[in-house]
Amino acid sequence: SRSAQMVADFEGGHMPFARTHLILVPLGRSSDAGVFGTTLRWGHGSIVLYLGATADEEAFKRDWVAPHELFHLTNPYLVRRLPWFTEGMTTYYGDVIRARGGTRTSTEMWDNILSGFGHACDSQSLAGLRTASRQMRVMHNYQRVYWGGACVGFIVDVALRAHTNNAQSLDTVYKALRQRSMGEDGPLAEDEIVAAFHAPFPKDHWAHAWVDARHPPRSRPDPPQKGYCANVLRPPSLCPCHGSLA
């Protein structure tokens, strides 16, 4: 219920589907709260979670698997699988919604996000992100795709908050994409996703090169003001224009 509340809070107080079918499979020899999970979204949400039968309350509080799988229910509908987008956004928000929900501190959130980025958030890795995403199930480069996509989400989030003085964020773009995908035009193509990430910025804005994984910059741009990173913990309408990472 804690994980479901995090997703409901992200969605504005309700779950993405009126009904969600949840199957819990206990594993007798494991004390990990979340061992594995998978999500389907045909008709209404369906999730299978494998969990440790001996896991205690603290383990469930620290669990990332249930929030991750439940957040998949918010993914926009797509023409074809785009792991860099669906898994990347879900990986990024998996940390963010847990910090917003109070089950981890902001320091823990950023430590995990920055640790996850590793080499997945440099220009060379992002240059091949779309190709790596298409080949993920063959090459088994899951970490690169998940965290490379999370890096793109982070860049859009912080850059958009800085560009609009926190009037908009990745929340704004992501939720709009979901609404579009459920409209008359139906599921979205990859180029529509990238175009939506580009749209809020002027043509010469530094974020463009980082969002378009086919043409990343040769060097890192100047980072936005640190205060906007701190505001990731809150929806944009609740953010001051500046903040502190402390």
- pLDDT recorded at residue 232: 66
- pLDDT recorded at residue 99: 92
Q: What is the pLDDT of residues 30-63, one digit of tens each?
A: 888 888 888 987 667 899 999 988 888 888 888 9
Q: Are 51 and 33 in contact (CB under 8 A)?
A: yes
Mind giving me the DSSP string for 131-166?
HHHHTHHHH--HHHHHHHHHHHHHHHHHHHHHHTTT
Report the phi/psi class of residue 165: left, alpha or beta, with left for phi > 0 and alpha for psi in -120 to 50. left
CA distances for 79 relative to 50, 108, 181, angstroms: 29, 35, 9
Q: What is the pLDDT of residues 177-213, one digit of tens each?
A: 999 999 988 999 999 999 999 899 888 776 776 666 5
Which of 36-50, 93-107, 223-237 has the least mean pLDDT? Answer: 223-237
User: How are strands ordered across the β-sheet holding 20-27?
Assistant: 20-27, 45-52, 36-40
Q: What is the pLDDT of residues 101-157, one digit of tens each?
A: 999 888 888 888 888 888 787 767 777 788 889 999 899 999 999 998 998 898 888
φ/ψ of 96, rounded to 5, equals -65, -45
- pLDDT recorded at residue 242: 33
Max intra-chain CA distance, the chain: 56
φ/ψ of 130, rounded to 5, equals -65, -40
